[in-house]
Amino acid sequence: MNDKTYSIDTLCVQAGWKPATGESRIPPIVQSTTFFYGDSQVMADLFDLKREGFFYSRLANPTVDALEQRIAALEGGVCGIGCASGMSAILLTVMTLCEAGDNIVTASEIYGGTFNLFSTTIKKFGIEARFFDADAPAEEIEALIDDRTKFVFAETIANPAIVVLDFDKICALCKKHGLLFVVDNTLATPVLCRPLELGADIVIHSTSKYMDGHAAALGGMIVDGGSFPYRGNARYPAFNTPDESYHGLVYADLPVAFGTKCRAQMMRDTGAIMSPQNAFLTILGSDTLALRMERHSRNAEKIAAYLEKHPKIEWVRYAALPSDPHYALACKYLPKGAGGMMSFGIRGDVKACARFMESLKIATQETHVADVRSCVLHPASTTHRQLSEEQLAAAGIASNLVRLSAGIENADDLIADLEQALGRV
């Protein structure tokens, strides 16, 4: 089903699991840590990566594999790696590419958890994150790149700043420097945007969001685009020298260099793999991804247009609004819609934000976004409360910012609910 002739709505339903005669039509939950082999040579070949197969669910599992194949097909990549969470997917990507003394160059407008991982945790391993403003000119971003830079990172639609990634700007820099471009495509999903076609090399998802879509299963996914030229690239010695922990394998020589290194080394050493149960739930959810993304986008467009005219709303950020600073980028990269996520500023203080959110009857307050039910959150007092005033400003989060994730309920019902809640502010 990797066939490029199929459109994304067909792939959402059909890609991934191809049963043999008499096998279950949808992938079974293979709840087993280990797998039977009667032939010791076959097992030896598995360990040498000479043959494909499952031997231990810390590295790979058939149910997880079905989801990996589906999302790889949706993104147009060559290999997917299912992870326990979006955060572990990002961590494994850093570990696969970086060593102490290396650095990464990243947009500041990123998910709060990713910001903490980059600014604090990877620093403990001697890896430096260099932040840039997503709207900064290319020269400013280029000045952060040196010969120890291993990748540039950004989100297609930034959570919660709702900034749209300027693919051409970053791709040109990465091509010029022979540098990997890693994109977190969680909020756009491959239904609205396919980063690999726009020049990204690796795509990451928190499948906990739209991909599952029902707030049922935590998970992450790394998709390897498979076309980055590691061979002979002096920036990536770890891909061009034998891996002594894996029988002297040289990853640049393999058809799937990044994906193989990530699984064979980093998944082996961390076990941060998705559970079969969560993979199963995410497969069920992703069947309807194309339908849902259409409804999320249409609902959000109507809500954003309503809020923009409301006297108690100071500003609205939603890239599909013609007044939005990223409208031109949204037209270019998100022609089918900009998804369900928006943010807006309530005229008033933190208390006014709380009063508004507590008055809502449909949308609930949650540390979650991007599922079928509408929800709201006040990042400055919750997800981003560890950040200083300057860090909040750099992440594009005002103290009166409310994040709204428009679900797939009826748009008129949602607007009526917002109307009555704003009436109480």
Q: Quick one: 195 or 422, whose CB is closer to ligand PLP?
A: 195
Q: Which of 53, 33, 80 has the alpha carbon at shortest distance from 271?
A: 33
Nearer to ligand PLP, 252 or 283 (CB): 283
Closest separation in Å from C-beta 182 to ligand PLP: 12
Site pattern 97..126 for ligand PLP (x: CB under 6 A): --------------x-xx------------
For residue 91, which amino acid is it? L
Q: What are phi and psi of 154, to 5 degrees?
A: -160, 165
Q: How far is the CB of 185 from ligand PLP (least distance, A)?
A: 8
Interaction mask 181-200, ligand PLP, x per CB under 6 A: ---x-xx-------------
Burial per residue of 42-76, b for 16 or more beta-carbon CB atoms within 10 angstroms, e otherwise = eeeebeeeeeeebeebebbbbbbbbbbbbbbbbbb
Give the bridge partners for 129, in sequence order: 104
Q: How many CA atoms lie within 13 A of 411 on its CB side?
A: 15
Using CB under 6 A, pick the residue from 65, 75, 102, 155 that binds ligand PLP.
155
Residue showing the smallest CB distance to ligand PLP in the complex: 86
- When the beta carbons of 69 and 159 are compared against ligand PLP, the nearer one is 159
Q: Which of 96, 106, 208, 343 binds ligand PLP (CB under 6 A)?
A: 208
Q: Quick one: 57 or 206, whose CB is closer to ligand PLP? A: 206
User: Shortest distance, CB of residue 221 to ligand PLP, whole angstroms?
Assistant: 10
C-beta of 211: minimal distance to ligand PLP in Å? 10
CA distance 307 to 43: 60
One-letter amino acid identity for 77? Answer: G
Q: Are 103 and 145 in contact (CB under 8 A)?
A: no
Residue 218 sits in the site that holds ligand PLP (CB under 6 A): yes
Q: Are 165 and 155 in contact (CB under 8 A)?
A: yes
> Can you give the length of the chain in residues?
425
What's the min distance (Å) between Cβ of 29 and ligand PLP? Answer: 20
Q: What span, in angstroms and rounded, lies between the C-alpha atoms of 327 and 336? A: 13
Nearer to ligand PLP, 97 or 421 (CB): 97
Site for ligand PLP in 22-41 (CB under 6 A): none
Residues 355-374 that bind ligand PLP (CB under 6 A): none
Pairing verdict, β 341-346 and 401-405: antiparallel
| Minimum distance, C-beta of residue 50 to ligand PLP, in the bound complex (Å) | 34
C-beta closer to ligand PLP: residue 300 or 421: 300
- DSSP E strands, 108-165: 128-132, 149-155
Q: What are phi and psi of 223, to 5 degrees?
A: -115, 125
**Restricting to residues 73-102, which ones interact with ligand PLP according to CB under 6 A?**
85-87
Q: Parallel, antiparallel, or unpaired: how do β-strands 220-224 and 79-83 relate? A: antiparallel
**For residue 203, what are the β-bridge partners?**
183, 223
Among 70, 150, 194, 209, binds ligand PLP (CB under 6 A): 209
Q: Which is nearer to ligand PLP, 180 or 341 (CB)?
A: 341
- Contact positions toward ligand PLP, by CB under 6 A? 85-87, 111, 113-114, 155, 159, 184, 186-187, 206, 208-209, 218, 220
